[in-house]
């Protein structure tokens, strides 16, 4: 995208929250292999008038019409407050959100808007005002905005969306997220059925406590997966990609999920899971031909409305990027 002399555009990619074994603590950024921009773009331009927000794009009409209710606007307010606290003077800007991501999809739609907005503002100030916040400060802001919209602080979409790759959240405010190695040769089929599931509703169905055996399985699966990623042991990593925390309780919210999971697993998928809080299903494959074959099957069998889509993806190791 070509920018006028006074603007900056940032793209922020879709992500798989949880990656089945890391509820709220694992996330993976993905990008379609055909070059489709699966994510949101925010353009920040200098303005001679007041601050403004324009929303365009395929899913623009799914967002609140009032700019104050758009999370991108909240990002601007937060960013300006942080500028003032840092002794800087905010300038007036015209923001444009290209809303390419369906809302309530499990693809980290609000995270895409939040990251594109905050990384876009930071890039704009770096370019035109010779000032920028460091990566960790911006990451904390993205977490704060995601918490405002979903009701709880979880970085599993914003961290991979901003930083790229597979990210593990660590309980240290000075670190927040650690990059984990992934399996370069794998393909990730992302199937969004075209229906909305709100993150809040999908969190409300979860139990408030878990049995000892579930806690043991959870810890063992996550630890084994992280260890296998570091040893590049694909077989071990995907053999434990089982979610005992959320999937058993969310399946009822996702029409055709269970049958699709069973079918794809029987056909040899490395792993199948719910992306974030759903309804997007992800399926991990060993080869591009298998991924294309499963994508076709998912188009015919998992999509519910004309808004649905399926993409064959690889890991997006870059995260938010200036266009």
Ligand X SMILES: N[C@@H](CCO)C(=O)O
Contact positions toward ligand X, by CB under 6 A?
A: 17-18, 23-24, 106, 108, 154, 156-157, 199, 202-203, 246, 276-277
26, with CB counted inside 10 A (0-12, 13-18, 19+), is buried
- Identify which of residues 94 and 228 has a Cβ nearer to ligand ATP in the complex: 94
Residue selected from 41, 71, 141, 189 as contacting ligand ATP according to rule CB under 6 A:
71
Task: Mark the binding-site residues, compressed into ranges.
Answer: 102-112
Residues 155, 27 contacting (CB under 8 angstroms): yes
319 binds ligand ATP (CB under 6 A): no
Block residue for tokens 């630890």: 223
Binding partner at 154 among ligand X, ligand ATP, none, C-beta below 5 to 8 Å by kind: ligand X
Strands 309-315 and 187-192: antiparallel
Which phi-psi region, left, alpha or beta, contains residue 19 (left: φ > 0; alpha: ψ -120 to 50)? left
State how far the Cα of 192 lies from the Cα of 298, in Å rounded to an integer: 9
Which DSSP letter does residue 50 get? S
Residues 92, 134 contacting (CB under 8 angstroms): no
Strands 7-13 and 309-315: unpaired
- Give min distance, CB of 264 to ligand ATP, in A: 21
167 binds ligand ATP (CB under 6 A): no
Prior bond to 279 cis, omega within 30?
Answer: yes
150 binds ligand ATP (CB under 6 A): yes
- Give min distance, CB of 161 to ligand ATP, in A: 10
- Rg of the Cα atoms in the chain: 19
- Identify which of residues 22 and 228 has a Cβ nearer to ligand ATP in the complex: 22
Residues 70, 52 contacting (CB under 8 angstroms): no
160 binds ligand ATP (CB under 6 A): no
Binding partner at 110 among ligand ATP, ligand X, none, C-beta below 5 to 8 Å by kind: ligand ATP
126 binds ligand ATP (CB under 6 A): no
State how far the Cα of 191 lies from the Cα of 8, in Å rounded to an integer: 31
27 binds ligand ATP (CB under 6 A): no
Binding partner at 20 among ligand ATP, ligand X, none, C-beta below 5 to 8 Å by kind: none
- Identify which of residues 234 and 256 has a Cβ nearer to ligand ATP in the complex: 256
Task: Mark the binding-site residues for ATP, compressed into ranges.
Answer: 102-112
> DSSP H helical segments within 50-108, as ranges?
71-85
Which phi-psi region, left, alpha or beta, contains residue 156 (left: φ > 0; alpha: ψ -120 to 50)? alpha
- Give min distance, CB of 235 to ligand ATP, in A: 30
- Identify which of residues 44 and 279 has a Cβ nearer to ligand X in the complex: 279
- Identify which of residues 113 and 277 has a Cβ nearer to ligand X in the complex: 277
Taking CB atoms, the residue at the shortest distance from ligand X is: 276
Residue selected from 28, 45, 63, 123 as contacting ligand ATP according to rule CB under 6 A:
63
- Identify which of residues 203 and 234 has a Cβ nearer to ligand X in the complex: 203
Q: Which uninterrupted H or E stretch holds 44?
A: strand 39-46
State how far the Cα of 113 lies from the Cα of 12, in Å rounded to an integer: 7
State how far the Cα of 288 lies from the Cα of 293, in Å rounded to an integer: 9
- Give min distance, CB of 96 to ligand ATP, in A: 12
- Identify which of residues 165 and 278 has a Cβ nearer to ligand ATP in the complex: 278
Which parts of this chain interact with ligand ATP (CB under 6 A)? 63-64, 69-72, 97, 103-110, 113, 149-150, 157, 198-199, 276-277
């Amino acid at each position: 995208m070509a920018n006028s002399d006074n603007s900056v555009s940032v793209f922020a990619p879709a992500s798989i929250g949880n990656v089945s074994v890391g509820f709220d603590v694992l996330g993976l950024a993905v990008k379609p292999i055909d070059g489709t921009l699966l994510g949101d773009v925010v353009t920040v331009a200098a303005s001679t008038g007041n601050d403004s927000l324009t929303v365009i794009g395929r899913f623009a009409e799914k967002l609140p019409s009032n700019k104050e209710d758009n999370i991108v606007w909240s990002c601007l307010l937060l960013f300006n407050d942080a500028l003032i606290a840092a002794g800087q003077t905010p300038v007036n800007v015209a923001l444009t959100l290209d809303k390419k991501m369906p809302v309530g999809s499990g693809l980290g739609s609000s995270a895409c808007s939040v990251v594109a907005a905050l990384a876009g503002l930071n890039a704009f100030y770096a370019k035109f005002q010779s000032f920028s916040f460091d990566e960790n400060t911006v990451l904390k802001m993205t977490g704060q905005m995601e918490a405002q919209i979903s009701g709880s602080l979880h970085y599993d979409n914003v961290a991979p969306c901003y930083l790229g790759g597979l990210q593990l959240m660590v309980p240290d405010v000075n670190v927040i997220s650690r990059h984990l190695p992934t399996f370069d040769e794998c393909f990730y089929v992302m199937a969004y059925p075209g229906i909305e599931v709100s993150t809040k509703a999908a969190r409300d169905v979860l139990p408030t406590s878990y049995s000892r055996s579930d806690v043991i399985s959870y810890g063992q699966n996550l630890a084994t997966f992280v260890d296998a990623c570091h040893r590049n042991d694909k077989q071990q990593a995907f053999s434990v990609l089982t979610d005992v925390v959320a999937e058993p309780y969310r399946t009822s919210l996702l029409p055709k999920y269970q049958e699709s999971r069973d079918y794809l697993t029987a056909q040899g998928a490395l792993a199948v899971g719910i992306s974030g809080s759903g309804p997007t299903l992800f399926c991990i494959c060993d080869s591009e031909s298998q991924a294309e074959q499963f994508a076709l099957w998912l188009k015919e069998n998992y999509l519910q409305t004309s808004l649905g889509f399926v993409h064959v993806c690889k890991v997006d190791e870059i995260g938010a990027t200036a266009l």
